[in-house]
Amino acid sequence: DSGVTQTPKHLITATGQRVTLRCSPRSGDLSVYWYQQSLDQGLQFLIQYYNGEERAKGNILERFSAQQFPDLHSELNLSSLELGDSALYFCASSGGQGAGETQYFGPGTRLLVL
Amino acid sequence: AQKITQTQPGMFVQEKEAVTLDCTYDTSDPSYGLFWYKQPSSGEMIFLIYQGSYDQQNATEGRYSLNFQKARKSANLVISASQLGDSAMYFCAMREEYSSASKIIFGSGTRLSIRP
């Protein structure tokens, strides 16, 4: 158990819908990262927050947004969902931001868009 | 540009044998971290081992060791005395110190299957 929690574990929805994925980082970790894992794209970095502020953006679509709340939990919002958004979405956390900071991953949310 | 290459899509190894999973990387940042993660069929990503670019010695964690050859830009994972539970996808990853995004870049992974 990494100490990172994600809910829900599974999500099935229809195209055009909006969903929210939730992540609670390890106790004491200030950085939260979101990743998408799909069969064709592999593991892709989406976005990072550090202590409530957005710090870095990766391959995140405009239909997707995220935020980190004062209690440090984070939510990833996916809207106008398309079939291609079906993937495993991971949240990870680390204490800081340096190259040596290990990111610990949550169990993931498996999203299926029908 | 930051890049991770894993050239072995799949490997089969006999139980109790040692196995080496290859990883090469490319970066222009002098300070970086290299990571290996394991992803079993259940889907979670499990951190295995870390090597810093300035570390003089190869990292070890139990049965896992990282064969770090900086000049060759390789960071191979060695699993000693493999077990059936080692069957999983293994991802090599890198993080740069001075990158504008403190993200981890992952390789495409190697699927390791342990034969009894």
Residue B100 confidence (pLDDT) above 70: no
Residue bearing tokens 């004062």:
A70
Q: Which residue among B43, B45, B101 sits closest to A45, beta carbon to beta carbon?
A: B101
Q: What is the pLDDT of residues B37-87, one digit of tens each?
A: 999 999 999 999 999 999 999 999 999 999 999 999 999 999 999 999 999
Q: What is the 3-state composition of chain B as percent helix, strand, coil, each rounded to the nearest 5?
A: 5, 50, 45
pLDDT tens by residue, A69-113: 999 999 999 999 999 999 999 999 998 777 678 899 999 999 999
Query: Cα distance from B34 to chain A (closest Cα, Å)?
Result: 8
pLDDT at B29: 87
Residues of B in contact with A104 (CB under 8 A): 47
3-class DSSP assignment, residue A74:
strand
Residues recorded for chain B: 116
Structure confidence at residue A100 (pLDDT): 76
User: Distance (Å) from the C-alpha of residue B54 to the closest C-alpha of chain A?
Assistant: 10
Tally A–B CB contacts below 8 A.
71
Each residue's pLDDT tens digit, A20-59: 999 999 999 999 999 999 988 889 999 999 999 998 888 8
Residue B102 pLDDT exceeds 70: no
Q: What is Dmax (Cα atoms) for chain A?
A: 40
**Residues of A with Cβ-Cβ distance to B35 under 8 angstroms:** 102-103
Q: Looking at the complex, does the CB of residue A104 fall below 8 Å from at least one CB of chain B?
A: yes
Of the candidates B48, B57, B1, B4, the one whose C-alpha atom is nearest the C-alpha of residue B29 is B1
Task: Quickly list DSSP for B15-55.
Answer: TT--EEE--EEE-S-SSEEEEEEEE-TT---EEEEEEETT-
Residue A10 token pair? 């599974």
Query: How far, in Å, CA of A31 to CA of B86, rounded?
Result: 29
Residue B101 has pLDDT above 70, yes or no: no
Q: CA-CA distance, A74 to A53, in Å (whole number)?
A: 11
* Closest Cα in chain B, distance from residue A6 (Å): 11
B107 Cβ partners below 8 Å, 6+ apart? Answer: B4, B5, B6, B23, B91, B92, B93
